[in-house]
Structure 1
Amino acid sequence: MGTAQDFIRREAISTYRVVGEPADADLQGLVRLATLLCDVPVAVINIIDEHSQHQIAAVGIDRATCAREDSLCSIVIEQKKPLVIADASADEALARHPFVDGTLARVRFYASSPLITPEGVAIGTLCLFDSRPRELSLDRREALDLLAGQVMDVLELRRITYELFAANDRLERFAAQVTHDLSNPLSAVTGFIELAADAAEATDAPDVMHALRRADAASVRMARMLADLLNYVRVGPADREVKDIKLAYVIQEALDDLATVITESHVSVMVEANESIVADEMACGVLFQNLIANAIKFARATREDPLVEIRAVPITAGVRITIDDNGPGIAPDQRERVFGLMERGDNHDLPGLGLGLSTCRRIVEGHGGSIGITESPLGGARFSILFPRSTSAA
């Protein structure tokens, strides 16, 4: 087993995805530049984990891997300082090193600068060497250090690129899940509404017609939400249509869409939300429908008297909205995990959008706000949302 530092280094190295991969053209270019600027025949970029030294780019030799204990550069990553040795064979500590005594090579001149991540982890080196002794001027030492920084810039760009690809892949899967979960049921609901409306009109049943009109309005609203949410995934929060909206109106629309669930669950819902916020109305409809449905699900799971309370109060930074329930609550170690992408919980039968709390966080943060979970005074969970204040609120 390695040390804690070895573990940190290994985790950092894994984010760059360069070990065992073909040589990166940009890294090869920097290695070539190092040989030219410093006038040496060999330059290498080494990545060093707890077991091995991996040459991920090289000029003057073929790339190879060796054991860490045989690496000259392991000294550099431990000290996190550049090292220049004019003649390694004349250095008592290095004269019998396998890269010096002829076992693996006959290195004489050696110069190396550490590769240090933005978090301060030394993961490898940019090193130069030659089979004959030589000196390295101060200007060339500085050039080597600058090139090592450029190597880390390339590695960071590589890491960020992979993360973006991964994020886009997750969003594509998310959008596909949304389409699967909503489009087909929505089409079926719309079709049944049309059939039932025709039958109700023929039998002159005004109560049924009224209910069907409400259902039809909800399905239209749901279709708009689906189209808007998918667009939100594609274009992001910067392109949202934000304006002053009244929380009471948006929350009431969400409650109307959840009316059947509320009735069947015998849940009491209390709303005190007279504030206005600056936000996209459709996105907020998705947000509150998810959060209220989530609160109802947990409250009715364990209580015969399920209760949900929604409040909005003005604060200095904006408007604080809380949604409380008297369910079992959410354990502290799970309060961050439930916001993960596609974390849908165990109950897939709950009416509503069912898109997960990751959608809620994306919507809130897309508006410059924040969302978190604490224990509710009611005994269950409290979702706290901070939104920017309305420009008309004085």
Structure 2
Amino acid sequence: MKTADDAIRRAIIEQYGVLGGAPEPDLQGLVQLAATVCGVPTAVINIIDDRFQHQIAAVGIEPAVCSREDSMCAVVFRKPGHTVVSDATLDERFAGNPFVTGEVANVRFYASSPLVTPSGVPIGTICIFDDKPRELPEDESAALALIAHQIVDVLELRRLTRELGESNEQLENFAAQVAHDLRNPLTALTGYIELASEVPEVAGLPAASRALARAESVADRMSGMIARLLDYASVGGAPIRRSAVDIAPLVAATMEDLRTGGHDHGAEVTVDASVLVPADPTLLGVLMQNLVGNAVKFAGAGGLTPQIAVAVGTVVAGVRITVDDNGPGVPLAERELVLEPLERGSNVDVPGFGIGLATCRRIVESHGGRMGIDDSPSGGARLWVVLPSA
């Protein structure tokens, strides 16, 4: 059965881009080092997603792919620390495994160390094998743990290199992103000012005063948003100022802006936010504005009353935010595409520039988190975000 953590793991693995190609020289060097230091004939780097174990570098065997059910490492990779088995035929976890019984291999000695990302998500192992029972001395055990950390460092460097290669294009699109992010509060600001100007000169002074006060509040939110977005776009990026944030007021502010601009489509919104979110408050506000605004827009485009459900909960990797809608959903083939700048998928009849979700992903990744799209129990799309707790 697939879980939310499996979806997070799959998204992280996709970011590394190591599946399906030839072994990376740096990874091949590290797996050779593990075999040499530990004195074994076979060593493998495994990446484990929700269905398969992918051997992305190996010594002593040809790298291959097997089902997760047949993998020895899939049994233990989510547990912290080493796994050392002197004789796998005597261990109830592995005695019937095809890598032990002779169906695939004749493993006796088995040891592995998990590959854990900086956000705390285990994605696989570095493991070593022998066809003879043996022990793992303390110095070799320490070396295996160190190699596991180095493998993750190589994967992170690969991911960052790919992302930096895209940074110039992202900066070119930044002006369009700022314009998109400010559209809803700017519409609200204009509406409040127009309301104040239409109130009778004497009798309506209190109403005019309230409208102008609300306009000033919206303008303040816009000013803070502009300052933080410009910081974020600067070379090297501004530091993230994390605090524990309640998202319920952020969702309420977004819906107020949409209602004032006449873009709420009569949406009904529920929020389950008993868990605080560790994030930069202003950037989290931009994130929720885009996620909720996007859900309302697409759910309301078909003439239905948008049903939006926002929830926050804890997962292994940190805190998970979900935004569900009852709209048309996002086809599986387009779920990665629509997270890119200026990409809108097949929903071209709905107004927009294809900027909002790309902005969301930039904000999420700046926090060390991950974002993705699944089917919603409401029949539409579920946008999910996971932010690390630390």
TM-score (normalised: structure 2): 0.51
| Deviation at residue 183 of structure 1 after TM alignment | 7.7
Q: CA deviation at 1:219?
A: 2.6
Distance 1:200 1:305, change over 3 A: closer
The residue aligned with 1:177 is 176
Aligned 1:177-216 pairs, distance under 5 A: 177-178=176-177, 197=196, 200=199, 202-205=201-204, 206-216=206-216
- Aligned-pair distance for 1:192? 8.0
| 8 Å Cα contact 2:174/2:233 also seen in 1 | yes
Q: Residue in 1 aligned with 2:241? A: 241
In the other structure, the counterpart of 1:319 is: 319
Assess, with a 3 A threshold, how the Cα gap between structure 1 residues 378 and 198 changes in structure 2: closer, same or farther. Answer: closer
| 1:348-359 correspondence runs (5 A) | 349=351, 355-359=355-359
- The more displaced of 335-344 and 353-362 is 353-362
2:284 corresponding residue in structure 1: 284
1:301 alignment counterpart: 301
Distance 1:347 1:220, change over 3 A: farther
RMSD, matched Cα: 3.6
User: In the TM superposition, what is the alpha-carbon distance from 1:201 to its structure 2 partner?
Assistant: 8.3
| Counterparts of 1:225 and 1:168, CA distance in 2 | 21
Which amino acid letter does the alignment assign opposite residue 375 of structure 2?
Answer: E
Change (3 A) 1:227 1:248: same
Kept in 1: contact 2:191–2:260 (CA 8 A) = no
> Deviation per CA, 1:28-58, whole angstroms, max 9, x where unpaired?
xxxxxxxxxxxxxxxxxxxxxxxxxxxxxxx
Q: How many residues align?
A: 230
Alignment partner of 1:381 is 2:381? yes
1:230 aligned partner: 230
- Other-structure match for 1:218: 218
Please give the alpha-carbon distance, in whole angstroms, between the structure 1 residues aligned to 2:374 and 2:305: 21
Matched residues in 1 for 2:322 and 2:217: separation? 28
Quick one: structure 1 residues 312 and 236, their matched pair in 2 at CA, closer, same or farther if it must change by over 3 Å?
A: farther
The structure that has the greater radius of gyration is 1
Shift of 1:275: 1.0
Matches within 5 A, 1:1-394: 164=164, 167-178=166-177, 197=196, 200=199, 202-205=201-204, 206-236=206-236, 239-260=239-260, 264-343=264-343, 346=348, 349=351, 355-389=355-389
Structure 1: distance between partners of 2:182 and 2:249: 26
* TM-aligned CA deviation for residue 247 of structure 1: 2.2
Q: CA deviation at 1:227?
A: 2.5
Secondary structure at the counterpart of residue 308 of structure 1: strand
- Worse overlay, 206-215 or 273-282: 206-215
Structure 1 residues 352-387: Cα deviation after superposition (integer angstroms, max 9, x where no partner): x97421110111111111110000000000011112
In 1, distance between residues paired with 2:182 and 2:298? Answer: 26
CA deviation string 1:268-290 (max 9, x = no partner): 11111121121100000100000
Q: What SS class does the counterpart of residue 173 from structure 2 fall into?
A: helix
> Are residues 225 and 347 of structure 1, via their aligned partners in 2, closer, same or farther at CA, if it must alter by over 3 Å?
farther
* 1:199-252 Cα deviation digits (max 9, x unpaired): 748434233432332233113212321231122121455612112222223333
Rate the CA distance shift 1:181–1:285 in 2: closer, same or farther, 3 A: closer
The DSSP-based 3-state class of the residue aligned with 2:270 is: strand
SS in 2 for 1:385: strand
Judge conservation of contact 1:250–1:281 (CA < 8 Å) in 2.
no
In 2, Cα distance between equivalents of 1:313 and 1:235: 33
* Identity percentage of aligned residues: 35
Q: Is the 8 A contact 2:298 2:328 kept in 1?
A: yes
Residue in 1 that maps onto 2:126: none
Q: For the structure 1 residues 213 and 236, does the alpha-carbon distance in structure 2 shift closer, same or farther, using more than 3 Å as the test? A: farther
Describe the shift of the 1:241–1:299 C-alpha distance in structure 2 as closer, same or farther (beyond 3 A): same
Rounded Cα–Cα distance in structure 2 between residues aligned with 1:297 and 1:186: 15
1:194 Cα shift?
A: 5.7
User: C-alpha deviations, 1:123-159, integer Å up to 9, x for none?
Assistant: xxxxxxxxxxxxxxxxxxxxxxxxxxxxxxxxxxxxx
Structure 2 SS opposite 1:266: coil
Alpha-carbon separation, structure 2, partners of 1:271 and 1:178: 26
CA drift at 1:305: 2.6
- 8 A Cα contact 1:340 1:357, kept in partner: yes
Please tell me whether the aligned partners of residues 328 and 379 of structure 1 are also in contact (alpha carbons under 8 angstroms): yes
Write the letter of the residue equivalent to 1:169.
N
Deviation digits for residues 71-122 of structure 1 (CA, Å, limit 9, x no counterpart): xxxxxxxxxxxxxxxxxxxxxxxxxxxxxxxxxxxxxxxxxxxxxxxxxxxx
Compared with structure 1, are the counterparts of its residues 245 and 201 closer, same or farther at alpha carbon in structure 2 (3 Å cutoff)?
Answer: farther
In structure 2, relative to structure 1, the CA distance for the partners of 1:276 and 1:201 (3 Å cut) is farther
Return the letter of the residue paired with 2:292: I
> Alpha carbons of 1:207 and 1:173: their partners in 2 closer, same or farther (altered >3 Å)?
same
Of structures 1 and 2, the one with the larger relative CO (CA 8 A, separation 6+) is 2
Kept after mapping to 2: 8 A contact 1:171/1:233: no
Which sections of structure 2, spanning at least 5 residues, go unmatched? Answer: 1-20, 22-159
1:129 is matched with none
Q: In structure 2, what is the Cα distance between the partners aligned to 1:372 and 1:162?
A: 19
* In 1, Cα distance between equivalents of 2:386 and 2:162: 31
Whole-Å separation in 2 of the counterparts to 1:183 and 1:376: 28
